[in-house]
């Protein structure tokens, strides 16, 4: 109950020459919708 239908979760690891402050994790703001019970 309350879960999103048909959700596929993926974890990726990658190498980059960017500094940590240059990386933007675009998924973080929408991740709250995946587990609303944990966001409380």
pLDDT for 19: 96
Nearest to 4 by CA among 32, 30, 36, 34: 34
pLDDT of residue 29: 66
Of 7, 1, 6, 13, residue with least CA distance to 31: 7
Q: Residue 11's pLDDT is what?
A: 86
Model pLDDT for residues 1-40, shown as the tens digit of each residue:
666 678 787 888 999 999 999 988 777 666 667 766 766 6
Q: Quote the strand ranges of 1-40, DSSP E.
A: none
């Amino acid at each position: 109950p309350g879960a999103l239908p048909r959700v596929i979760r993926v974890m990726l690891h990658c190498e980059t020459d960017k500094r940590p402050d240059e990386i933007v994790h675009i998924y973080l703001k929408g991740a709250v919708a995946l587990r609303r019970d944990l966001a409380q």
